[in-house]
Chain A
Amino acid sequence: MSWYHPADLGFAVRRKLADIGLGARLFGRLLRLFPAVWQRPGLVRDQVHFLGNYSLAIITVSGLFVGFVLALQGYYTLQDFGSTEALGQLVALSLLRELGPVITALLFAGRAGTSLTAEIGLMRAGEQLSAMEMMAVDPERRILAPRFWAGVVAMPVLAAVFSAVGVIGGWVVAVGMLGIDGGSFWSQMQGGVDVFSDVGNGVVKSIVFGFTVTFVALLQGYTARPTPEGVSRATTRTVVVASLAVLGLDFILTTLMFSI
């Protein structure tokens, strides 16, 4: 067995291409299952509860501390330029445009994505998915699609909560600890933040990340090897692939959205 043998190389390339093809087909199928999912909203509701509500604690606490740190670091830098009043704008813009969607997506991949992968990988390992197919129940429709759309719903909500809590955290540090005037903190923020180009684009980003993270998690679980080791590898891959995809996509989205 040598990896540079032409036949092995061809086999590896073919397998990669087949994986990509399978992923694309699954993604298209999940998108097309959107109307079917709402025929049983209870399934989506339970998944939103599982993915969203249980992630709220980690998202809120992280948002609060990111807001604290942003305000402190921003204050030390802005002090050199004598423009500490602009702190509100700095905190709000960093949170709404970048940190809110991106950190939420990374945490979401770690908190919710891994559990999705492990759950579906274990269903695969325990042959529950095959059993469903035997009973003429489509597992993509019954298992994957509700989880996919629940993730897409939960992610923007979590990102909005993260940004809002972060702004409040920034306010606590700036006005409470550093003694910046509260009026100028808010008015600078309102002067520099636009509803559509900043808040709106942040929401669009978080929706895109919701699609990305949930889909990566589901695909890794669905294609996991049906062994304990396979499931553990798939869970690791979910975090790695989803994080890299989010950071890469974020760069592309930022170039598209905020270039003049």
Chain B
Amino acid sequence: MQQSKNDVWVGLFVMLGVVALVFLALQSANLLTLNFQSGYRVTARFDNIGGLKPQAAVRSAGVVVGRVESITFDDKIFQASVTLQLQDRYAFPKDSSLKILTSGLLGEQYIGIEAGADEHNLVPGDVVIATQSAIVLENLISQFLFNKAAEGVPADSSK
């Protein structure tokens, strides 16, 4: 095959493209934090997941310990069934409780784990029932209005 000095320049050009892609993948995307290591799956039941999405973080004490793998609706018990993938190196007691929390006022929702006191740890396939649903703003407002109205009634009747 004939050699030419174009070879060098074209090679450089293609290498530049590869370097740009690697830069984008490593520096601006989540390739490094992608979870290639296997974890263990735990299922949790929630009355209301609010705006939780698959791939949301699972945090304990603010540290990411896993991801939400999938969210389905269980029409036998009318609850949301959330499958979590927790990293192998973290173990949690069986009676740990889960909460759906929001990072910041308008941030994305994540699941917080609060460790319990049980001697046995969660094993793959366990179902966590001690959960606290996401806070839904409409419910909060209606609760507030209801309380206000309840306060108002005796005040009026005492007159």
The chain A residues found within 8 Å of chain B, CB to CB, are: 41-42, 45-46, 48-49, 52-53, 56, 83, 88, 92, 96, 153-154, 156-158, 160-161, 163-165, 167, 186, 189-191, 193-195, 198-199, 203
Contact = CB atoms under 8 A, between A and B. Distances in A.
Interface stretch (B3-11, B134-142, B147-155): B3-11
Contacts of A164: 19-21, 23-24
B20 A194 contact: no
B33 interface: yes
B124 interface: no
Contact of B29 (A41, A45, A83, A194): A194
Interface of B: 1-2, 4, 6-7, 9-10, 12-14, 16-17, 19-21, 23-25, 27-34, 106
Q: Which 10 pairs show the lowest CB-CB distances between chains A and B?
A: A157-B17, A164-B20, A160-B20, A193-B29, A49-B6, A195-B29, A92-B28, A161-B20, A195-B31, A160-B21
A167 B19 CA distance: 14
Given A160-B21, A190-B33, A199-B21, A53 B28 contact: no
B10 A42 contact: no
Given A49-B13, A190-B30, 12 more contacts: A46-B6, A49-B10, A52-B10, A83-B106, A153-B14, A156-B17, A157-B13, A157-B16, A160-B17, A163-B24, A167-B28, A198-B29
Contacts of A194: 29-30
A199 B25 contact: yes
Contacts of A193: 28-30
B54 to A, nearest CB: 11
Given A45-B6, A45-B7, A164-B20, A189 B28 contact: yes
A96 B30 CA distance: 13
23 contacts: A46-B6, A48-B10, A49-B13, A52-B10, A53-B12, A56-B13, A92-B29, A157-B16, A158-B17, A160-B21, A161-B17, A164-B21, A164-B23, A167-B23, A186-B27, A190-B29, A190-B32, A195-B25, A195-B30, A195-B31, A199-B24, A199-B25, A199-B28
B14 A157 contact: yes
Contacts of A56: 13, 16
A181 to B, nearest CB: 16
A6 B20 CA distance: 56
Contacts of A46: 4, 6
Contacts of B4: 42, 45-46
Nearest to B53: A260
A153 B14 CA distance: 9
Nearest to A56: B13
A237 B7 CA distance: 33
Contacts of A161: 16-17, 20
Contacts of B31: 195
A53 B24 contact: no
B33 to A, nearest CB: 7
Nearest to B27: A186
B6 to A, nearest CB: 4
Contacts of B10: 45, 48-49, 52-53
Contacts of A157: 13-14, 16-17, 20
A42 B2 contact: yes
Nearest to A88: B28
Contacts of B29: 92, 96, 190, 193-195, 198-199
B102 to A, nearest CB: 14
Nearest to B15: A157
B145 to A, nearest CB: 28
A186 B28 CA distance: 7
